[in-house]
Structure formats: C-alpha cells, structure tokens
Structure 1
Amino acid sequence: MSQASRIEWTEATWNPTVGCTKISPGCKHCYAESMAKRLKAMGTPGYENGFKLTILPDRLAEPLTRKKPTVYFVNSMSDLFHKGVDDNYIAQVFDVIRRCPHHTFQVLTKRADRLAAFFRNRDVPTNAWLGVSVEDRKYGVPRIAALRLVDARIRFLSVEPLLEDVGELDLTDIHWVIVGGESGPKARPMKLDWVERIQQQCEEQGVQFFFKQWGGWGADGKRRSKKANGRLLAGRTWDDMPELSAHA
C-alpha cells in the first residue's frame, strides 16, 4: 500500500516496483537498499526478494482508491526506468497517473536517456513531475539535457547526495531544484560553497530552490547530528516548490 513519507518534499510514496541496481556514485550508499534489507528481514510484503528488482502490479491501483489530493513520490524504493521494467509496465504506471488528476506524482530517475526515449512519442500527464538525479559532474549533470527533451509541465533536479561542486548549470526549462547532503554512517561530506553556488544559480535563472538537508555533515565540515539546524542554509529554510497539479 502507499505509505506516508518523511521526505520533506513529498507527502506519500507509491512503489509499483521495488529494488534496483547501482549505476553511478550517487548509488553507493543507497538508503533504499538498506531499507529493503530491513523490510525483507521483517517479512514485509513486496520485499521477499530484498533489493532485487521486483515488479508489483498489485500495487498499480493504489492511488485510484485515494480521494484526498496527495503528492506522491513514485518509486522511492526503485527506479521506474530501470532496464528491467518494460515499456508496457511503465505505460501502465503513467495510465494510473493520468487517471488521478487530483494527485501530483513526482517521478525521479537516474536513467535519463531511457526517460527521454520513452516519452519521445508519448505525452506526459500534466500531473506528473519528471526529475533526474544530479550528484556530480560526470554522471549527474549530463542527465539535465536528457530531461530537457521531455515535454513535462514540471521538470526537476534532485541534487542529492551532492558529492562535488557541479559547476555552471544550464537550468533552462528546469522548474525546481532540490539539494541535499548524504546521511547515514558512511555519509560523504557536502561543502557549503557547493550548495550556495547552486542556490545562487537558481535565483539568477528563476528556478525554485528547495534545501532538503545537510545530512551527516554540517556546513563547518564536521560530522554532526541531523537534528541541529539540519535544514538551515544562510540562517533559513528553503522550501520553494512548484504549484501542485490539483490547483494548477
């Protein structure tokens, strides 16, 4: 079933697939992999295979049963555009999205090329926000150009975990940028100037900016508790988001 989410930029998660495989440095300490192992040990339905990619068609109808307008993060525990998910199943997911215009669906992928290929001859539902992960220059930044090829009402970047200074960004036709540091016992540090540079570019290019967390390290370069000013940047929180589809 759909789950309420503690992720700051969404309300609930919907996982019609679970499990994934690593393709870039951002995957190294995958929170979903660790969580899937715990859920398997707990005997949670859907996680019998742990973090091995698993298609769960019985979950497709979940958003259809919820009347209250909800912001869903699609596949928080997987990647919808994984090579193991066929186009027909992806199309079924987007058919459900299209049939739920009162909900907003946030779809995030590291497989940006497949995202662009899938929508080359398909329309994107207006209530689907499409995003790509941008953790570094080599793997992450090139995904932005692929995302720009897709005619979505909202295109967004999840710059999390931010692993280095990603340099000058072309944010043309990008509507929203989320930035966050890595959490967990093996978290890699994120530097203040990396975050500030992205925030400044968002401001200059008219893109909404959301600062999710420092994670396991603080702006001072020291390990720290997430509880203490974990979302403050320049003394404030940054919670900008695009207008929700149900109110567009």
Structure 2
Amino acid sequence: MSARSSIEWTDETWSPVIGCTRVTRGCDGCYAIRTAHIRSHNPNAKVADAFAGTTHHSGGRLDWTGQVNLLEQRLTDPLRRKNALRIFVNSQSDLFHEQVPDAFIASVFAVMALTPRHTYQVLTKRHGRMRALLGSPDFRLLCEEAEAALVADPATPGLPRYAREQYMKQWWSHFADPLPNLWLGVSVEDQKTADLRIPALLETPAAVRWISAEPLLGPIDLDGPLHPMGGRRKLTYWLTGRPGLGEPRTTDTGLQMHPLATGPRLDWVVAGGESGPGARPVHPDWLRSLRDACASVSVPFLFKQWGQWGPDAPLDGDGRIVRGQRGLGVSLADDGTVYQPGDLAHPDGPRYREALRARHDRARLTQVYSVGKGKSGRELDGCTHDAYPTPRPRTEASR
C-alpha cells in the first residue's frame, strides 16, 4: 500500500491489480497510464515487475496494453494497517475489469470483510460487471470461501491465533448483506455516462453509493436530462430515491399495510476538473449545478479540484492579467465548446460563424485560465466543500 495519498478524499491507496484499458473519453487523460509507465522503469526490480507490460506507445500516445497484473502479495496489505483508514481500492486499475478473475475480486472482498476498521472506496467504469457480480449468489459463495481460506492460512498477517480459533468455531458470513465498510461508486464524466452507470449502481446492493464526476467534461443533471423542447423526459430520483410502497406488514388487527418507502439513492457526490498534460477545462456552472443539487436534498458533496483550468485569471506583480502566453485563457460555452483567443473576433474570427450556428452568445461565454492544479486550488465560489457520507443501516443498504 502507498503512504499518505495525495487524493483529497482518501488516506491511502491499495492496488492489488495493475493495468487497465480505456472505455470512454473520461479515460483520455488517465493519470494511471503515466504512473504505470514511469514505475515500469523503476530501478527497484520489485516495483518495475509489478507494472511490467501494462503500457506501451500506440497511435502516437502512451496507452494501456490491455495486460492486467494480479499482485497476490499485496492482497493482505490492509491487514497490516492497525489504524482506521479510508482506502481507495485499485487506483492503478479497475477492480471489475474483464481480465480480473471473479475469484481474485472475491479475495479483495474477503480482505475488506476481515478489516472492518477500514473504509474502502471502490470506483469503477465497468458498471455492468459490478452489478452482475455483487448480485450473484455464486460470487457471494466465492467471497465466503476466500475469507475462510485467509483465516485458515497461518501466514495471513493481523489475525492472532485466538481470533482464528474463535472464527472457525463460530463462523458467520459477512456477505449476507452489503459490507458496511465498502463505499461503492462509479466514475461519470458527462450526462451520457451518468445515464449508463448510475442506474446500474443503484441496482447494486451497497452501504454507500457514490459517484466521482472527475474529470467533469460536460453538464450532469442528477434529476434527469432536459428535453430539447422543454421539461424533463423523466425524473431519475438519483438523489432522493424513488418513492414507492415498502414490504407489507400485518397489524395486530390482521390488516395488511404497505408503508411508504424510498428506493436506493446516491449517498455522496465528488466532482472535479481534469489535470495533467492536455487537460480539458471544466465549466464552473457544471460544478455549481452538482453542488446545488446535492445541497437541496442534503446529499454530501466534495469538490476535489479545479485541475489545470480555473476561473481566476493569473495576475502579474502589478495586479494585471498576464497575457500573451498561448493557451493561457480560453472561452468556454455551456456545452463544453472551447474557443481560443481570437476565434470569435468579429467578423473574421475563424470560428465566428460556427459559434453563430451553435447559438453561442459571446456575452455568456465563461473565461477559464490554464494556471495549474496547484494555483487553481479547491475553492468553489470562495468555499471548500469536504462533506462525507454516513453509511445507511444494513436493511436499507441491501435494497
């Protein structure tokens, strides 16, 4: 496991799997590809071997090869951590990648079950496999078998003899209900990926369900996409839970009642802009929309970062805006269209007519500036947002 992580919403990272493949445009600026490439050339053979063969240059850019390395020696690392931590699982891969065997994922879940002191944060873009596995009785059985094997193995760290004996005498399944220390989430970058992944997440049993809207590359309406002719196609109830009837119960007088209940909902929203080489700018209104939607229904919201592009202009020593550096400042339309300085000059700007056809009002374009992650900071409208979720009771999490 890593030392203190620089990721704002976690304490440490745990990567028993290395390697991945891109799936949507949110992967274009993946930091893990660059990290894996650098570490595959590390002079320490142990480090280099873990990342070997996972990256290559293809199509003029650095990319994943599709090879996934399973690092069994890292599986028990969390058992060695005595203090309670928030642990981001697989920052260098996707736990539900198609090349990761079901049994290996079950071993990861077994370690999480044996360390209830830790909180595990899992993010995936493979929403389909996540939903299928975690709703499968066969996968639950694999998890139970993996947990029993870890307890029975004398080499497993962090389990004293008396604990093993007690466990074997009074064995119970941690997997009858969702693990209370697992926060299960999906990465979304725009409305299209949100519409695909969030419903699958809400159909998956979990104590905490969350989304990471980073890099945010377009607006996301958590109440459902707007119809071009006005209004909404449908309400999603992603933040509030769809209202309905609960399980029937019989009163003392023999009357059968159906109490009102709400369906699964999101428990946490994290959002942020993109950083690193070639980072794409984030529109401040996209972030404000997510923040305000969460605030309206008391869902915790965490603003991770602006990233490379921020709303505050870089100033020189005299307090004037620094100008003349190519790509320093751009105009951003509501739909994410980026205009370079001079693009919209009247009447001969190279994209002036394009903007007219798209009905982009120059007065409404937002200026953002390439100042770097360190200078752009984490404040949204002068405030830092660092809210975290509270796990729900097991009876609600299992829905």
TM-score using structure 2 length = 0.59
SS in 2 for 1:152: coil
> CA separation in 2, counterparts of 1:216 and 1:140?
23
Of residues 346, 362, 372 in structure 2, which corresponds to 1:225? 372
Counterpart in the other structure of 2:268? 176
Residue 362 of structure 2 is matched in structure 1 by: none
Is the 8 Å Cα contact of residues 130 and 156 (structure 1) preserved in structure 2?
yes
2:189 to 122, 127, 135: 135
Partner AA of 1:180 in structure 2: G
Contact 2:215 2:273 in 1 (8 A): yes
Cα displacement (A) at 1:53:
1.4
* 1:41-80 equivalent positions in 2, closer than 5 A: 41-43=41-43, 44-45=47-48, 46-51=50-55, 52-80=67-95
Distance (whole Å) between structure 1 residues aligned to residue 390 and residue 17 of structure 2: 27
Aligned to 2:6: 6
Is 1:209 matched up with 2:301? Answer: yes
Match in the other structure for 1:101: 116
Q: Distance in 2 between matches of 1:88 and 1:96?
A: 13
Contact 2:123–2:184 (Cα < 8 Å) also in 1: yes
Which residue identity lines up with residue 50 of structure 1 in the other structure? T
The structure that has the greater radius of gyration is 2
Given residue 240 of structure 1, which amino acid in structure 2 is its aligned partner?
A: A
Aligned position for 2:30: 30
2: distance between equivalents of 1:85 and 1:72? 20
1:14-50 Cα deviation digits (max 9, x unpaired) = 0010110000110011100011001111142411223
The secondary structure found in structure 2 opposite 1:138 is helix
Q: Counterparts of 2:374 and 2:76 in 1: how far apart (Å)? A: 36
Q: Which residue of 2 aligns with 1:242?
A: 389
Residues 218 and 282 of structure 2 are in contact (CA less than 8 Å); yes or no, is this contact kept in structure 1? yes
Contact map agreement 2:87 2:121 (CA 8 A) in 1 = yes
C-alpha offsets along residues 184-241 of structure 1, whole Å, 9 cap, x if unaligned? 1200110011111111111123210000000010124121132224101010100001
How far has the Cα of 1:84 moved from its partner?
0.3
- The reply on whether 1:115 has 2:91 as its aligned counterpart is no
Is the Cα–Cα contact under 8 Å of residues 208 and 391 in structure 2 kept in the other structure?
A: no
Q: Aligned with 2:186: secondary structure?
A: strand
Give the counterpart letter for 1:48 in structure 2: A
2 CA distance for matches of 1:101 and 1:60?
15
Q: Is the counterpart of residue 200 in structure 1 residue 313 in structure 2?
A: no
Q: Conserved in 1, the CA contact under 8 Å of 2:271 and 2:304? A: yes
Residue of structure 2 equivalent to 1:148: 202
Give the secondary structure class of the aligned counterpart of 1:144: helix
- Over 3 Å counting, the alpha-carbon distance change for 1:168 and 1:10 in structure 2 is closer
Cα distance in 2, alignment partners of residues 10 and 38 from structure 1? 23
Equivalent position of 1:83 in the other structure: 98
Question: 2:373 aligns to what SS in structure 1?
Answer: coil
Q: Distance in 2 between matches of 1:94 and 1:168?
A: 29
What is the aligned-residue RMSD (CA, Å)? 1.6
Pair 1:244–1:126, CA change in 2 (3 A):
closer
Gaps of 5+ in 2: 56-66, 141-174, 224-237, 242-264, 312-366, 393-399
CA contact (8 A) 1:2 1:62 kept: no
Task: Please identify runs of 4+ aligned residues in structure 1 that moved more than 6 A.
Answer: none
Q: Which runs of 5+ in 1 are unaligned?
A: none
Q: Report the residue type matching 1:232 in the other structure.
A: E
Q: Is the 8 A contact 1:39 1:50 kept in 2?
A: no
Q: After alignment, is 119-128 or 150-159 more displaced?
A: 119-128
Equivalent residues of 2:307, 2:376 under 8 A apart: no
The equivalent of 1:92 in structure 2 is: 107
Which one scores higher on RCO, CA 8 angstroms, separation ≥ 6? 1
Equivalent-residue separation in structure 2 for 1:210 and 1:151 (angstroms): 23
TM-score (norm 1): 0.94
Measured in 1, the distance between the counterparts of 2:53 and 2:78 equals 24
Q: Find the aligned partners of 1:84 and 1:40 in 2 and give their Cα distance.
A: 20
